[in-house]
Amino acid sequence: MLTLKTKMPFYPILSGLQLPSEEIRGEILFVLYKLSLCQSAYKDIDGADSLLAFCPKLLHLSLEALVKTQDDTVRLNCVAFLTILAQKGYFENAYANDIRSMSSDEADNFMQTTERGVDDPPLNLLFAEAIKGPLLSSDRQIQVSTLDLIFHYLSREGAPGKQIQLLVEENIVDYVFEILRLSEGKDPVVNSCILVLDLLSIAEKGFTERLLVGFPILIPILRFVSEVPFHRVQIQTMKLIWNGISDFPGIISTSHIDELVHVLARMLKRHTDGEMGMSSDTFVMVCSIFVALLRSPSFCRTLDLITSVEEAISHAILTSLNISKKDPNQLLYSLYLLKEAYRHGHEEMSTNNSSITGLLNCIVDICTSHILPWFVMAIDEVDEEIILGILETFHFILLQDSDIQAIKFANRLVKSSWFSLAFGYLGAFATEKMKLRVYMMLSSIVDVLLGNDTGEPIRDAAPNLPTDPIDLLFLLGQKSSQNPSLSTCQSAVLLILHASSLYDDRLADEKSILASLEQYILVNSNDATNTVTMMQLVNLYGLYRSVTKMNYRIPYSPEAERILFHLVTENEWDLPSSRIHFVSLKWLFQQEKLCYTLSYQILKFCRSNGSNGTQIVVHGESGHIINMEVIAELATSEDNYAARLLVCLLMQLAEEENQEGDFVSIVNLLATIISISPAASDQLCLNGIGNAIRNIYYNPNHFSSPETFMATSLLVFNVLHSVPAKALSDDEAWLAVTMKLMDYVIYTKAAKSWSTESLRLIAIFSLILHQSTSKVLLGAAKAIIFNASLASVINNVIHEACSKGPALFDCNEGTCIAETLIFVLLLNFFSLRCLHVVLDGAVDWQNLLDLSNGMQPLSMVSIYCHDLCRLLHFGSPPVKLVASYCLLEFIKRLSEQRNRKKEELKCSMGYLMSMVTILEGLIFYSDIRVSINCSQCLSMILGWEKLDMKETIVTADNTWCRLIVEEMAMSLAVPCLPSKSFTNYHKPAVHAAVALLKLQKSPQWMSTVFDDPCISGIIKNLMASNISTEMVLLFQQLVSSEFLKADQIASLNRVLQECRKHIYTEDAQNDRTDDQIEMRVTVTDDLGKFVHVSFI
């Protein structure tokens, strides 16, 4: 091995670097490279590095050789040698020492013999020039080695910034970007390029401009390094991208943004899922790039891109929340990203882009679903910086108070007891910065929830407010007449307590709050005349005063209550525009002393609701904004005076003149209340609304006013439709109302017209008859039934309809004739029911059959049987439906009468056969309700033969009945053969079959139809889930008729046992039986609600 104990042999080697031979220079540089590796052997006796003495000239000669050579071998050896020198700091020493100052005589002599003159280029410039050739080499190893040389050259401590600046000015950045572009994602090249670019990026000038050109090259590189956990140059690549986007927001194209977003979002997802680790610096840089992208003017708001941003934010937040204790910085940057995304979405809301709305909703959901629950639980585990960061983020969202998302977010916060939570953090971190942040955020919550600038008192008083809620209550109890600052603080305290109370958030115990409120009322009553302050006091005092009713151990001040009542009754205030807790409002309506002023407030509500749609705003689940629902709830309850107030106000307005607008408003309010809460009609009737309605109708001014009459009629209908029979005690009042309404109907019909109001009154008469079946309103019911004029009107309608014959079918529910006919039929139906209850046994139902001496005019409200059959045969579907119920009701009553009196029918056989024919034809009707009604009528008529055998001719050799029974049996035994519709509608046919089986002499073909295979097939198809009441009736009659064998009976018993178990275990929802069918008939305009009647 060559030693340097004698340095003279080393000089020829160095001199050889100046020879023109490429081969010699290559060999010399290889020797120098090997010598440099053996540094430990090349020491002087005193330990000095021998090469150090030749460092300046050695570097110059090596760099000059590198500049001149075109040989890749020479380049490789030279770069390798220079890299070793750079690692040992020789370049740094060369810059620090003067080239002519050598430490040895030998060096001086050598310098004298080899000196080229004072025009030698500076070392740093020579270095920049020397590395260009190797960087342009086609040899990948040379390029990588040169990049490593640059890296070590720049990364040594003490490398002056001017060296980096010089390399940038010499376009080295462009060389590196070109190598990176051609790297094909090869790891060594990518690593070396990115590391060099990272060092060059600190240049003060020139780099950003060159980064602008090479920026697109970095995008695929990031995609490559992002797939490798903890890649060596991952963070440096992101830093370069972030610098480019931050310095030049317009640098990036839409396609590059799309690619970056998806790459970064995937990184966060994999990190959250545990597939890939990520350093804290990388996480921070990912968030920073996302923010820069959102600020770029090229950011395209496509659905796919916004979805990726949403996912990225979600993953970032979830990850940072899980490690918030170890690395709070990640959470702060996640919040930074979330806030910037929300800012971007808010600014773009004007574009009406649905994806932007989705982004805002997503951010709010992240805050409420992830950050807020964590925030609630982490009060003892995080530091102040994190708390302030979350508060700042939440506050930023709330400041966008025009956003629907801000309102949604504010509601979610207060429902999570935000007021208590905020004061909890304020107690944990009682710094001035935290106090201001908490109070400012509370003011913004109040602004969003209660209206713009309503939180201003809190903002004005924030610097002077204490951090403890107990101290807030103490301030409230002080006299403030001579202290404006204290008065401002008290306004803020009242507002905080008021807002928190609306959401059931208690800042202190009820006893302390009530005591402070009472003290404030006692010492500051003169300052409480302000409308806003008074309403806050009313809400708070009513809320906490109601607590004393439930807990008698909490004392209260009667004097404070008296003063508050005086303020409420003597000062102007506005309940319709105020925010008030329902418990507080209910307490107000429980105070008899406030009835007069509350009546006035209700009237104000009616006026405002009728004019501009304002509503009383009451605490509730749906944003505590409820219009009339709260009044309906109050009127329904028995523990307050709301119903009484409403009725008294109605009576008062009915007696006053020139108050038609107010009167109509209160009538409409009452009608709406009953529509919202039908149970409210109970309390209204108990408080005398019947008498009030009578007074209205007998007031000429109201009765003659079309608007008033229409509104009152609607109220009457709603009351009678909703009220339970036990609450209808004012029979005389309702009788008077009925007489007045009948006069109106008869008068309008005399004018040859059926108006909407007339039909509405017919519906009211129907409801009166319906209520009379519960033994109430009997006088009114009799007045309706036995009114000859009304009966004549009804007869005329029926006669006109029947005279149309087949043309009646074309009169659908949209026509005037059909609507009138439907209402008349409804009246007839309830009349039949009423007669059965009110005059049981006193009515001869056979009078409605065809009499031998011709049809006689009816003296009561009723319809002849044959007219009902005509309507049933020729009528439109709605007419058929109501007529079928009427005919069924009549046949029931007639059957009961014949069974009771054992009398013969007074109609001809042809009359009876015509009825049977019509009923048989409707067994297969598409409306199951009509077909069931007709089958039941037919069953009862078939049963009449038991009283008179000559009537058996009705069913003898009846092929239509046989067809009905055969088709039913086939559908039940072999479900796959008949049509699907008939299979679903077998119930009407079962009634006919049961009636035939019950005959004293059942048709012989019944045994042929229900033979053994048929019965066995039906039983086989029966299951616990599909057996019906009709099927039970059918098999019950088949067993009675001895059609079943022993084994079939055993099989049927097993099915019925399974059915019983099914009902008990599954709590099956059975279909309504025929006596519980709800009939709906639709007609035009607003009359539809009048014919929605339940037939029970």
CA dist 1010 and 172 (Å) reads 103
CB atoms within 10 A of CB 1071: 12
Please say if the pLDDT value at position 3 is more than 90. Answer: no
The whole-chain average pLDDT of the chain stands at 83
Q: What angle do CA 536, 540, 543 make, to 5 degrees?
A: 140
Token duo for residue 42: 């090349």
- The amino acid present at 692, given as its one-letter code, is A
Domain boundary among 532, 557, 585: 532
CA distance 977 to 968: 11
968 pLDDT above the threshold of 90: no
Burial class (CB in 10 A: 0-12, 13-18, 19+), 14: middle
Residue 950 pLDDT > 60: no
Q: Is 764 in contact with 716 (CB distance < 8 Å)?
A: yes
Question: 713 in a domain, yes or no?
Answer: no
- pLDDT higher than 50, residue 87: yes
Instruction: State which H helix or E strand residue 152 sits in.
Output: helix 140-155
Q: Please give the model's pTM, rounded to 2 decimal places.
A: 0.79
Query: By C-alpha distance, which of 919, 910, 820 is closest to 869?
Result: 919
Whether residue 776 contacts residue 728, with contact meaning beta carbons closer than 8 Å, is answered with: yes
Is residue 342 one of the residues assigned to a domain?
Answer: no
Residue 1027's Cβ-side half-sphere holds a number of Cα atoms within 13 Å equal to 22
Backbone angles phi, psi at 1092, to 5 degrees: -90, 95
Position 918 in a domain? yes
Enumerate residues 6+ apart whose C-beta is below 8 A from 340.
290, 291, 294, 295
Q: Indicate whether 524 belongs to any domain.
A: yes
pLDDT tens digits, residue range 628-684? 888 999 999 999 999 999 999 999 998 888 788 899 999 999 999 999 999 999 999
Judge whether 640 and 586 are in contact, CB under 8 Å: yes
Kindly report the backbone phi and psi dihedral angles of residue 730, in degrees, each rounded to the nearest multiple of 5, phi listed first.
-90, 70
pLDDT tens digits for 351-388?
667 888 889 999 999 999 999 999 998 877 888 999 99
Q: What is the pLDDT of residue 652?
A: 92
| 553 contact partners, CB below 8 Å, separation of at least 6 | none
pLDDT tens digits, residue range 562-602?
A: 999 999 998 888 888 888 999 999 999 999 999 999 999 99
DSSP 39: G
- pLDDT for 1091 beyond 80: no
| Residue 250, helix vs strand vs coil | helix
Asked if residue 229 is part of any domain, the answer here is no
Average pLDDT over residues 440-468: 92
Instruction: Indicate the pLDDT class of residue 158, thresholds 50, 70 and 90.
Output: low
The DSSP-derived string for 456-515 is HHHHHHGGG--SSHHHHHHHHTS--TT-HHHHHHHHHHHHHHHHHHHTT--SS-HHHHHH
**What is the tally of structural domains in the chain?**
2
| Helix 55-68 / helix 105-114 crossing angle, nearest 10 deg | 30
pLDDT at 101: 43
- Using a 10 angstrom Cβ sphere, with 0-12 exposed, 13-18 middle and 19 or more buried, the burial of residue 572 is exposed
Q: Range of 960's domain?
A: 908-1022+1029-1070
**pLDDT confidence bin for 536, thresholds 50/70/90:** very high
CA end-to-end span of the chain, whole Å? 118
Amino acid (1-letter code) at residue 1096 = I
Tokens found for residue 287: 């968030």
63, part of any domain: no
Q: Quote the CA–CA distance of 589 and 595 in Å, as a whole number.
A: 7
Q: Is the pLDDT of residue 1093 over 60?
A: no
Q: Could you give the percent of the chain with pLDDT greater than 90? A: 43
Q: What is the mean pLDDT of residues 1007-1019?
A: 87
**Does 974 fall in a domain?**
yes
* pLDDT at residue 1072, rounded to an integer: 42
Question: What is the Cβ-side half-sphere exposure of residue 1043, based on CA atoms within 13 angstroms?
Answer: 28
Question: Residue 897: how many CB atoms within 10 A of its CB?
Answer: 16
What pLDDT, on a 0 to 100 scale, did the predictor assign at position 549? Answer: 76
Q: 857, 840, 839: which is closest to 848 by C-alpha?
A: 857
Give me the torsion for CA of 413, 418, 422, 423, rounded to 10°: 170
Confidence of residue 108 (pLDDT cuts 50, 70, 90): very low
Instruction: Report residue 118's pLDDT band, with 50, 70 and 90 as the boundaries.
Output: very low
**792-844 pLDDT tens trace:** 888 888 888 888 888 777 666 556 777 889 999 999 999 999 988 888 777 88
pLDDT tens column, 44-65:
444 445 565 566 777 888 888 8
Helix (H) or strand (E) holding 149: helix 140-155
When pLDDT is cut at 50, 70 and 90, the band that residue 620 belongs to is very low
Which has the closest alpha carbon to 179: 235, 222, 128, 141?
141
| 600 within a domain of the structure (yes/no) | no
Residues 6 or more apart whose Cβ sits within 8 Å of residue 184: none
The amino acid at 828 = N
Distance CA 885, CA 582 (A): 45
In 3-state terms the chain splits into helix, strand, coil percentages (rounded to 5) of 70, 0, 25
State which H helix or E strand residue 211 sits in. helix 207-226
- Reference 312, options 290, 335, 336; nearest CA is 290
